[in-house]
Structure 1
Amino acid sequence: MSINYVTISREYGSGGREVGKKLADKLGIPFYDKEIIEQTAFKTGFAEEYVKKQGEYANAKNWIEYSFSARNSYGMSPEDYLWSKQREVILELVGKGPCVIVGRCADYILKERNDVLNVFIHASYECRRDRITRIYKDPEHTEKMLKDVDKKRKFNYRYYTEQEWGKCQNYDITLDTGTLGVDNCVDIIFDICKTKNVVKDGKTEEKE
């Protein structure tokens, strides 16, 4: 089995996006994060900021509230519509060739493929807090975001996939950036990909 696609799910502040970007650069294939937001916004007419937040984060406080969000005559809420269009975008990007995708339930969306490596990036609370504090230089903001973001991601993921976000059995590999460091995590994933195929500039060649 070759690996043509890598999905990166991550805890907030773990450096998962950085891992994904560096991995894509090292493999010589596209990295999709902002592009998904931009193209989904174009398809839906929603503002990019709305897509950025609602594409991964549930706003409702509980399952019942989320289930009974306002819906149109087809029984679809704005969140459902966004999910369907975001899924379309991801599948369209995948159709262009090998790539690395961060977040947005891409692991679930591509679950029928056998050439995908699903990765979960995590770190201790202390490591994530220190990383986010260095970025935003606002300890109060950091504490609030660490409490809220992953909770919303987990809820959103469960609602649309019926799976548990962050559960190790749902991924091929989980890596701790706090223990291993971002660059070592990149190297580990890269080595796994290289044992299965040779990826360069979006072209895949099977190793003999």
Structure 2
Amino acid sequence: MNTIAISRLVGSEAGEIAKRLAESLGYDLVDKAVLQGTLQQYGLTRFGELYTSPPNLWDLANSKNLEIVSMLNDTMQALAHRGRTVILARGGYMALNQYSDVLKVRLHAPFPVRVDRVMAREGFVERSEAEQRVLADDKARIKFVERFYGKKWHDESHFDLVLNTDIIPLETIQTWMTEAVRVLESKKPRADSKVAQQCKVDPLLLSAIDQALERRISSW
């Protein structure tokens, strides 16, 4: 019943890994689309017309959106409370850093490798354009974590696993992460540790998550 929170850089192939992992474990996959859908639905419930359209999560770098960041953290905690979830979305590992039943993983690869992958995936012709795309995405992720959580993006002490997808095959990464989840499930929490599944969450937020997941599944 544990949760996996994945931190990634664009071009690290984390999306494919998260999808495979969720399918093999029978977990729900929560990506940007599900997270936006949840924030929209829950925001409508709490704040009415202010949230009639999905928030752009990169716009959260705007200080006016601190309230949405708070909702984002609540959503991450609710997801961990549900369990059996792979989270591939915005700062989840920081919002859940205090919980012992969350496996926190960072997936990365060297910059040139990630540029090659983005070029192939998004159809860039000029390498310089792909480089700017990757640099801009990296900058946004780093800024988000450092601004709203006061932590350095490159500090890997927050993670249980840090894996280089250029060196380690995807199949091996999936196996290692699966084994790590099984170990975590069998491990007895320390007396002073916090367990997400024991925390109280807003039932309306859990309902919003379920609706967002259902919409994503029905659109496939």
Distance 2:163 2:106 in 1: 6
Match among 109, 129, 132 for residue 144 of structure 1: 132
Residues paired across the two proteins, number: 176
Distance 1:88 1:197 in 2: 23
Structure 1 position 112 matched with structure 2 position 75: no
CA contact 1:41–1:51 (8 Å) conserved in 2: no
Q: Which residue of 1 aligns with 2:169?
A: 181
Distance 1:120 1:42, change over 3 A: same
Q: Which residue of 1 aligns with 2:53?
A: 47
Q: Which residue of 2 aligns with 1:74?
A: none
Q: How far is 1:163 from its partner?
A: 0.9
CA contact 2:3–2:103 (8 Å) conserved in 1: yes
Q: Which residue of 2 aligns with 1:124?
A: 110
Distance 1:98 1:127 in 2: 31
1:35 maps to amino acid: V
Distance 2:82 2:171 in 1: 27
Q: How far is 1:152 from its partner?
A: 1.3
- Partner SS, residue 147 of structure 1: helix
Whose helix fraction is larger, Structure 1's or Structure 2's?
Answer: 2
* 1:75-122 Cα shifts (integer Å, max 9, x gaps): xx1x21221122222222323222111132111211221111110000
Distance 1:150 1:171 in 2: 18
CA contact 1:10–1:121 (8 Å) conserved in 2: yes
Q: Which residue of 1 aligns with 2:76?
A: 90
Whose strand fraction is larger, Structure 1's or Structure 2's?
Answer: 1
- Partner SS, residue 7 of structure 2: strand
Structure 2, unaligned runs of 5 or more: 44-50, 187-220
* 1:52-74 Cα shifts (integer Å, max 9, x gaps): 4335xx3xxxxxxx6xx4xxxxx
Distance 2:58 2:15 in 1: 15
Q: Which residue of 1 aligns with 2:10?
A: 12
Q: How far is 1:46 from its partner?
A: 5.7
TM-score normalised by length of structure 2: 0.73
Structure 1, unaligned runs of 5 or more: 59-65, 70-76, 199-208
Over the aligned positions, Cα root-mean-square deviation in angstroms equals 2.0
Distance 2:173 2:184 in 1: 17
Q: Which residue of 2 aligns with 1:35?
A: 34
2:41 maps to amino acid: F
TM-score normalised by length of structure 1: 0.76
Structure 1 runs of 4+ off > 4 angstroms?
none
Q: How far is 1:27 from its partner?
A: 1.2
